[in-house]
Structures are given as C-alpha cells and as structure tokens.
C-alpha cells in the first residue's frame, strides 16, 4: 500500500471480531487508533482510553458494538467530534431502527455513514475473509471499498440506510433455521442406524445441500473441520444466533411479515441458550437433539 492510500482510522470495539479486523487494517498500512471499554488491545493498533480520542481527526471511524442501545449511545457521544467529511462505518449487528438512527445522527453532523454488518465469524475476521452487507449512499460505499477489501473477501452494497442490517438478519434467520434442520436430520439418522458419514456423503451432494451441512457440519469428524470438532467451542455462539433471530423477529413484526419457521427457530434457540447452550457454538444443538425424545422441549 502506498502512503497516499493510507487512511487514519479510529476503531471502537476491539472484541473478538473488532480486534482482528482492526489488526488487519493496521497490517495493510493504515494508521489505526483503537478504543475498547475493556481496554482490549489489537496488534499494530494504537490504544487510547476514550472513544473521543479514537474519533477526533480520523478519516474513517469504524464501530463494532454489542447492540443497538450501545450503538445509539456511542454515536450520540462521538459524532460531534468527527473530522469534517469523515466517514463513519458501523459493523455491528443491530436492529434496523438503530442503524437508521446512527445514519441520522451522522447526517446531522455532516458526516458520511454506512451500516456494514458482517458474516464469517471470528475465523473470518482473523483471516480477512468476512462478507460485508452494506447500506448507505453510493459515494460513501465507494470510499469504504478499499477497507472492506482488506477486512473481507465479499462486499455487497444492499441499498440505502439500514439495508445492510436488513440483509444480515435475513441471512442469519436462514442460517438458524437451516442449522436446526441439519441437526434434526443427523439426530433422526442416528435413531435410524444410518452412519453419519454416509448421510453426509448423500445429503451434501443432493438436494439437502446447504452451508450448515457442507461448510459447518454440526457432526464431529464429518465434513470440513468445524467447531463440532473442537467440542463445540464457539465460532458463532448460540446466544449470538439467538440475538440475530430476535432481531429478525422484531423486524418481521414491524412490517407484519409472516416468518413461522423463523419464530420457531427463535423459540428453539431461546430454550437452548437457557438450558445449557450459552457459551457453546450454535451447532451444538446436535448433541442436545440426540439426547431428546419426540415431544421433549429443547
């Protein structure tokens, strides 16, 4: 990267996702200043002790925060301190209303803004292979493309403010539903005395083909390496899946969309998280289902 292409970037939220994303930006030659409430560092990133220090004077400010309430509070705090013409990019997964609120606060401060949630989990953040779903003005998106190229391998401009979040919650509703379906099929195969490897070999090349089976198989020792091969230590925690499903249900309710399977998946993950699933990968519903009998509650 040439010095002309380097940007001054503030990164707020250096958790499991934010820290490797910020580190990849620093590795690419950008001057990255980071802030996290827990004081978490990131490789190559200058740490500061306040959000305002990470915001002032930056070309770009990126946030990766836990929920919409925190996002609103942070934007209320920092937008007035953004440099003239700065670009604010929020990569959190939040409700559409909070994303639109953040856009509105940035617009009031004459700042460009994008909502750009990600898919790909911790491994994708570390490897720089995330998928970005982006909402906002075209010129803001074009300014951010070089940064998305550093942090990810796929980026889609979904439309105006909030559409990135809309795409994210729709995608993860599909993921939650499909993972339950794959786990139910394995649990049924077990009861029918069908070898898991044989089931995988058939279904992964048949009409049951899906990402939850082929790329993230919940059965250990079957398919590509996944969290199931590491005692279900989370690549994507069950409670985060529940969060995204709840966001999808809130959005569906706001526009009166019928999502019966989305609602059922939300209820399933709610019960799973409350009864031993917290802190485990979202694919750990498979061992729970293998213990259950017909009519049992998760």
Q: Which residues are catalytic?
A: 168
Q: How far is CA 144 from CA 23, 96, 127, 295, in A?
A: 17, 20, 19, 50
**What SS3 class is residue 108?**
helix
Asked whether the beta carbons of 34 and 45 are under 8 A apart, the reply is: yes
CB neighbours of residue 80 within 10 Å: 13
What is the DSSP annotation of 131-197? EEEEEE-HHHHHHHHHHHHHHEEEEEEEESTTHHHHHHHHHHHHHHHHHHHHHHHHHHHHHTT--HH
Q: In the chain, how long is the greatest CA-to-CA distance? A: 66
Residue that is written with structure tokens 């939650």 in the block: 176
> Can you tell me the distance from the alpha carbon of 282 to that of 273, in angstroms, rounded to the nearest whole number?
9
Closest CA to 10 of 72, 100, 83, 84: 83
Residue of 136, 131, 214, 211 lying closest to 175 (CA atoms): 211
Distance CA 169, CA 297 (A): 25
Checking DSSP bridges between strand 130-136 and strand 112-115, what pairing results, if any? antiparallel
Could you give the angle at which helices 163-191 and 96-108 cross, rounded to 10 degrees? Answer: 160
């Amino acid at each position: 990267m040439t010095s002309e292409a380097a940007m001054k970037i503030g990164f707020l939220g250096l958790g499991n996702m934010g820290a490797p994303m910020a580190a990849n930006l620093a590795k690419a030659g950008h001057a990255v200043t980071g802030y996290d409430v827990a004081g978490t560092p990131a490789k190559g990133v200058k740490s500061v002790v306040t959000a305002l220090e990470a915001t002032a004077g930056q070309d770009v400010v990126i946030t990766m925060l836990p929920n919409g309430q925190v996002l609103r509070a942070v934007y209320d705090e920092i937008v007035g301190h953004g440099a003239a013409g700065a670009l604010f990019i929020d990569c959190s997964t939040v409700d559409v209303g909070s994303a639109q609120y953040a856009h509105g606060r940035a617009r009031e401060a004459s700042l460009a803004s994008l909502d750009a949630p990600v898919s790909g989990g911790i491994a994708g953040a570390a490897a720089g292979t995330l998928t970005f779903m982006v909402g906002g003005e075209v010129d803001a998106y074009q300014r951010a493309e070089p940064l998305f190229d550093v942090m990810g391998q796929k980026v889609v401009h979904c439309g105006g403010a909030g559409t990135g979040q809309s795409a994210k919650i729709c995608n993860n509703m599909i993921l939650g539903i499909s993972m339950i379906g794959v786990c139910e099929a394995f649990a049924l195969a077990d009861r029918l005395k069908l070898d898991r490897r044989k089931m995988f070999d058939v279904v992964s090349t048949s009409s049951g083909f899906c990402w939850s089976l082929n790329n993230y198989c919940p059965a250990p020792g079957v398919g590509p390496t996944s969290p199931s091969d590491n005692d279900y230590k989370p690549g994507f925690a069950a409670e985060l899946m529940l969060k995204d499903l709840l966001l999808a249900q809130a959005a569906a309710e706001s526009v009166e969309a019928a999502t019966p399977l989305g609602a059922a998946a939300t209820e399933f993950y709610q019960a799973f998280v409350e009864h031993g699933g917290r802190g485990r990968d979202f694919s750990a519903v498979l061992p729970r289902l293998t213990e259950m009998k017909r009519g049992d509650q998760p």
